[in-house]
Amino acid sequence: MKGTNLGEFEELVLLTSAALVNDAYSVAICDELGKYTGRVAKLGVVHAVLNRLEEKGLVKSHMGEATSARGGKRKRFYEVTHAGKVALTRSKEVREALWRIIPGFNLEGSV
């Protein structure tokens, strides 16, 4: 199943949810992504990705408490599951392994 592999944007969303800990819901994730990546994250895209991640079992969600904001609608908070953590770690390891085998890779002048 392709479920074990993370797409680039999926990985970003997953990382952001992990970073936001207890405050990870769609709008916050959007804002956070915007802040760190500098690109505008559309709600529609993030929403779809979160939905897919939940289908893959990388995150799980629960509804928060109703507040007066958002027209009285509850938020859906996301939490990275164990499988999610494994996937993140794995993808990080793959990258690091690859970095390591590049001989004398010089970043100077490339940025």
Partner 1 sequence: MKTPTQKLPEPPRWARNLLHWYCRPDLLEDLEGDMNEYFERNLKTKGIRRARWIYILDALKFFRPYTVRKPEFLNLLIHWLMLGSYFKTSRRSLVRNKLFSAINIIGLAVSMSVGLLVIAFLTDLFSYDLFHEKRHRIYRIVTKTEGDDKRTMDLASTSLKAGYKIRETFPGIEEVSLIRRGFYSDAKVSDETIIPLEATWADPSFLKIFTFPMLKGNPATALKEPYSLVVTEKTALKLFGKTEALGKTVRFDTTNYTVTGVLKDIPKLSHIRFEALISLASMLGQKADSDGGILDWGNIYQNYVYLTLPETANLQTVQANLDKLSATENKQLEHQKITLSLQPMDKIIFGGRLSNEIGVNFPKPVAWVLIGLALVVILSACFNYTNLSIARSMRRSREVGIRKIVGALKNHVLGQFMAESVIISVMALIFSFVLFLILRTQFMALAPQLSDLVTLDLSPRLILYFLLLAVVVGLAAGFLPALFFSRIQAVQVLKDASSLKVFRHINLRKALIVIQYTFSLMFITTTLIGYKQYRGFLSFDLGFTTENILNIRMQGNKSTLLKKELAQIPAVNQIATSRMITSLGSIYGTQLKYKTKSVHDSAMVWLNFVDENYIPLHHHRFLAGTNFKNRPTSGNETEVIVNEQVLKRFHIVDRNPADAIGKQVMLDNKPLTIVGVLKDFHYGTMDHKIEPTVFRYSSEEPGGYLNVGIKSEDYPAALSGIEAAWQKIDKIHPLKATFYDDQIEEAYKQFEVMVKVIGFITFLAICIASMGLFGMVVFMTETRLKEISIRKVLGATESGLIFHLSKGFLLLLLISTLVALPVTYIFFDQYVLTKFEYHQPIGVSELIISVLVVMALAFLLIGSQTLKAARSNPAKVLKSE
The neighbour count for residue 7, using CB atoms within 10 Å, is 13
Task: Indicate the residue among 48 and 86 with the shorter CB distance to partner 1.
Answer: 48
The minimum distance between CB 89 and partner 1, in angstroms, equals 27
- For the chain, the farthest-separated pair of C-alpha atoms sits apart, in whole angstroms, at 57
Q: Among 38, 71, 103, 109, indicate the residue that binds partner 1 (CB under 8 A).
A: 71
The helix (run of H) or strand (run of E) holding residue 77 is strand 76-80
| Distance from C-alpha of 14 to C-alpha of 53, rounded to nearest angstrom | 8
Which range touches partner 1 (CB under 8 A), out of 5-13, 42-50, 84-92, 93-101? 42-50
| Binds partner 1 (CB under 8 A): choice among 48, 82, 89, 94 | 48
Handedness of CA 53, 12, 17, 72 (dihedral sign): negative
Among 12, 13, 20, 26, binds partner 1 (CB under 8 A): 26
| 62 strand-pairing partners | 77
Interacting residue ranges for partner 1, rule: CB under 8 A: 25-27, 43-44, 47-48, 51-52, 63, 69-71, 73-76
